[in-house]
Structure 1
Amino acid sequence: MPHHDLVIIGSGSGNSLLTPELEGLDVALVEKGTFGGTCLNVGCIPTKMFVLPADRVVEAEDAARLGVTFAPPTVDWPAIRDRVFGRIDPISRGGEEYRRSQDAVTLYRTRARFTGPRTLVLDTGEELTTERVVVASGSRAVGLAVDGLTDVDPDRGVHTSDTVMRMDELPARMVVVGGGFVACEMAHVFSALGVHVTQVQRSGRLLMAEELEVSQRYTDIARERYDLRLSTRVTAAEHGHGTWRLAVEGPDGEDHLETETVLLAVGRRPNTDLLDVVAGGLDTHPDGRLVVDAQQRTSVPGVWALGDISSVHQLKHVANGEARTVAHNLAVDLGRIPGPPLEDDGRPVPHAVFGHPQVASFGPTAAQLRSDGTEFVSYTQQVGDVAYGWALEDTTGLLTIHAAPDGRLLAAHALGPQASSIIQPLIQAASFGQHAHDVCRGQYWIHPALAEVVENALLGLPLGR
């Protein structure tokens, strides 16, 4: 029965745990899937690399408003796909080869499950014992509770984000089921590349977790680009002769959609069930996530967790931050560095949706602030009302800021060009407790750059000073 000083389950952000402070430990790294985890292989990075050519197509179509027209684009799907994975796959292989080359690291390319506290059995039948475990095995896309669509089946055209980007060719038609960030990004990509996209969303808007006006505007823009069915659900599915016939039920009653490809983007579940965490004594939330404290410790001494397996935020930048916390706390626990251990400091957690236009946000919505009884003031700046917005002829972009009456920034919600970058000064200001007026008046803002959207939104906040 092999014994290791440390077992890490998952090669995504868990792979970054082995800092110099942990040098000399006998480490086991367990990974059944593609080395490098979700973000590198099927998540953040490849999806955004697909978004870029899609953006180029939409921008070319939109250029007529600026007096420039282009011929319809020629889309070379294999070239687009191979550019993405021709870059990503070598990184995955290289990371695995590097870990295999380290004498102190044993790489197990299989699945592990708990049989007791800090005791694991591999699919190979081999048992591992260890002093410390870090669970970083992430989450997985789920299917739809409709016969035929419960599991991914690429051979019959049923995909999740794990498989859809590696299709051999673009289908003529695609039904995207879901209305969250994965569904919206993929609907943008494939509609821009020439696929007839129908997006089916059971709620009345897309991106329901966003600020109301952001969600509404994004929904209106999407409706102009492709077939959008809101307040609609798939009730049945039949497959024959290479075509899916989906029964849907919406505000106008029952209907049918025919398509070659179905993309299921209806959520993800943490992989705790695959690990049999109950046998390991680990507590879970009702949704399956591992319970962790502010130091990323689980309910079992010597066991930590990070990333999608435990975090309410399914975000790579959060998982990376938690990995830094765990690496530090492991070193403290081992006596390699002095304490105290690191804890979650409650800093704002931002996110972005790389549809077209982009969406970016941190902090609560106005509805959430009102529900919590939080006193706040707000201001919304339209992108089209600043000088660079004139150049863009932008008609839909906006930035809304919520602040406490004392000037502390509580939240920001953006829709528009490069929203994921434009919002960063506000994330910084909120993270370091800067007053809104200090941020907008304490520095020069390049004129007429798009960042003036941020300056003007801050200036517009009704704050006494």
Structure 2
Amino acid sequence: MNTDYATEPNPRPPLEGDQSPDTVATEPAPHAPGTAPHRHIKADLAIIGAGSAGLSAAAGAAMLGLNVVLFEEGEMGGDCLNTGCVPSKALISAAKYAQAARDSEAHGIKSGAPRTDWAGVQAHIRKAIDTIAPVDSQERFEDLGVTVIREHAHFSDRNTLASPTARVTAKRIILATGSKAAIPPIPGLAMVPYLTNETLFDIPELPSHLIILGGGPIGMEMAQAFRRLGSDVTVIEMGKVLARADRAHAEIAAQAMADEGVSLLENHKAVSVSESGGQISVDTERGDGERKSVTGSHLLVATGRQAITDGLALEAGDVETDKQGILVNEKLRSVSNKNVWVLGDAAGMGQFTHLAGWHASVFVRRAFFKQRTKATSLPLPAVTYTSPEVAQVGLMEAEARERFGDSVSVSSFAFDENDRAIAEGKTKGECKLIIHKGKLLGASIVGEGAGDIIQIAGYAMSNDMKVQSLTNFISPYPTRAEVVKRAASAHFTDSVFGKTARTLVSLLQRIP
């Protein structure tokens, strides 16, 4: 996980009342024989959750010399390291090697059909996790000066968290509890052995037929990966797959997956689930009443995620909630208890590791440097790691037109005109820029490496650069990232090469 954080240099001197580590005291309260003594700790910052947001905030505060206590009852690194981003991308990488073997003949290389060693794939996943784990480890954070308590914690009052062996009173409290898979109330689902991201990577054998409920990023990434590894795969989605992406770009990715053999059942609602003879069946119904039944060896539920708030005793902390979760403002503070901050998935503003890291940066900037940064201060990128990848930042075309009408213009450039893409034989996709009065409102890219390329547009938007700035640099040839410059240049084609420009050039040619 990335525990970097962005602040300004020259941190403020300690304010009166700032506590140093020597404020940690062990109460001489009686305790049961064989158990740890109960400690009462006074801290500058107490955090629940050692995922990306919690770790980044803890590192930032500790490096500024503050007294930090971090509670984590599960694995250090949270969902992303252990059951989310890292294992899923390691799996996708393994699947790409399998697909490369299938595609190699088109490049003049004969390698034969790939055979998946599932245990070997799992070893590759485990190695990726183990390599990153030290960065998120308890030892590293204790070396930074953080008091790490590997226990469940909850509020005992507005400023205090309690665990089985500790009671922490803090000036500021962060809830960075993350999210978990949301399980839909489908009849029969609770009676079958379904999978979520928390269990998917530990299954003992490669599924012969994996059924996936949900056609969002997680469902689509895992669908293509398991198909490439040799599983039959069916995705059941009650609407359109990748519904939050640019529609045209989502369809390019979906068609690529269908061409590889993934069965996509769009506009199909799962109405019941059952198991018989070790096989799982999902009955679906389409909007027009058509019914279909799908039977497979494994079922993955990927229908969204929900913030984890169980067992926090939020009422005791005067932290208000609604049906969606904890109520926070754009400053990431609880609307009812200003001493409480909510970061990452628990804030309900998006479920991305990079957003969690940004939330930690917002916290450090606001809490310690008194800056006015907000959770919404920068545009949020999102990437679905299928092949081709689907990446976006800012407003999509439909959103922009709804907000600004016909004054929105769109400029595109296709990968089948990009020389690097042609040389590699991976020409599916395009770059699309959404523009309003010279300002870049958003961008969407579908294609190989889209997640890396979208950062050019994100950088320009984050720094209030005009679209013209995307034409004013030298892009190395041949690279895929040239599509951004070419799409931006296309926006100015008429003004640079149109009738007015030709007239001007004709007049200028008369000057000796």
Structure 2 length normalisation: TM-score? 0.81
State how many pairs are aligned: 451
Shift in Å, 1:93:
6.4
Shift in Å, 1:385:
1.5
* Equivalent of residue 360 in structure 2, options 304, 323, 343: 323
Which residue of the partner structure matches residue 364 of structure 1? Answer: 395
Three-state SS of the structure 2 residue aligned to 1:373 is helix
**Structure 1, residues 87-146: CA drift from partner, whole Å, max 9, x if none?**
314644674441685595443323223243123343x38654333211111111111212
**Counterparts in 2 of 1:106 and 1:62: CA distance versus 1, 3 Å:** same
1:215 aligns with 2:280: no
Shift in Å, 1:285:
5.3
Partner Cα distance (1:61, 1:312) in 2: 40
What amino acid sits opposite 1:36 in the alignment? Answer: G
Which residue of the partner structure matches residue 488 of structure 2? Answer: 458
Structure 1: runs of 5+ lacking an equivalent? 333-338
Partner Cα distance (1:177, 1:171) in 2: 15
Q: How does 1:335-374 map to 2 (within 5 A)?
A: 339-340=370-371, 342-344=373-375, 346-373=377-404
Partner Cα distance (2:231, 2:144) in 1: 49
**Counterparts in 2 of 1:95 and 1:294: CA distance versus 1, 3 Å:** closer
Shift in Å, 1:51:
0.8
* Equivalent of residue 275 in structure 2, options 231, 234, 239: 239
Three-state SS of the structure 1 residue aligned to 2:318 is coil
8 Å Cα contact 1:296/1:325 also seen in 2? no
Which residue of the partner structure matches residue 31 of structure 2? Answer: none
Deviates more, 1:164-173 or 1:392-401: 392-401
* Equivalent of residue 435 in structure 1, options 452, 462, 466: 466
1:163 aligns with 2:163: no
Three-state SS of the structure 2 residue aligned to 1:85 is helix
Shift in Å, 1:355:
0.9
Which residue of the partner structure matches residue 343 of structure 2? Answer: 306
8 Å Cα contact 1:234/1:249 also seen in 2? yes
1:390 aligns with 2:391: no
8 Å Cα contact 2:189/2:274 also seen in 1? no
8 Å Cα contact 1:4/1:28 also seen in 2? no
Three-state SS of the structure 2 residue aligned to 1:272 is coil
**Over the residues paired in the alignment, what is the CA RMSD in angstroms?**
2.5
Partner Cα distance (2:458, 2:325) in 1: 30
Shift in Å, 1:378:
0.5
Which residue of the partner structure matches residue 319 of structure 2? Answer: 282
**Counterparts in 2 of 1:212 and 1:341: CA distance versus 1, 3 Å:** closer
**Counterparts in 2 of 1:297 and 1:254: CA distance versus 1, 3 Å:** closer
Partner Cα distance (1:58, 1:424) in 2: 26
What amino acid sits opposite 1:446 in the alignment? Answer: P
Partner Cα distance (2:109, 2:91) in 1: 24
What amino acid sits opposite 1:455 in the alignment? Answer: K
Shift in Å, 1:297:
5.7
1:11 aligns with 2:53: no
Partner Cα distance (2:484, 2:65) in 1: 48
1:228 aligns with 2:259: no
What amino acid sits opposite 1:265 in the alignment? Answer: A
Partner Cα distance (2:143, 2:330) in 1: 32
Partner Cα distance (2:465, 2:142) in 1: 47
Partner Cα distance (2:469, 2:298) in 1: 52
1:58 aligns with 2:90: no
Which residue of the partner structure matches residue 127 of structure 2? Answer: 86
1:445 aligns with 2:475: yes
Shift in Å, 1:243:
1.6
Partner Cα distance (1:402, 1:90) in 2: 39
* Equivalent of residue 188 in structure 1, options 205, 224, 232: 224
Three-state SS of the structure 1 residue aligned to 2:380 is coil
What amino acid sits opposite 2:431 in the alignment? Answer: L
**Structure 1, residues 14-53: CA drift from partner, whole Å, max 9, x if none?**
1222347646544321112211111111121221111112
Shift in Å, 1:418:
0.6
- State which structure, 1 or 2, has the greater radius of gyration over its C-alpha atoms: 2
1:262 aligns with 2:284: no
1:424 aligns with 2:460: no
Partner Cα distance (2:77, 2:279) in 1: 34
Which residue of the partner structure matches residue 145 of structure 1? Answer: 185
Structure 1 length normalisation: TM-score? 0.89
Structure 2: runs of 5+ lacking an equivalent? 1-38, 497-512
1:376 aligns with 2:408: yes
Shift in Å, 1:214:
0.8
What amino acid sits opposite 2:246 in the alignment? Answer: E
Identical aligned residues as a percent: 26
Deviates more, 1:279-288 or 1:130-139: 279-288
8 Å Cα contact 2:70/2:148 also seen in 1? yes
Which residue of the partner structure matches residue 76 of structure 2? Answer: 35
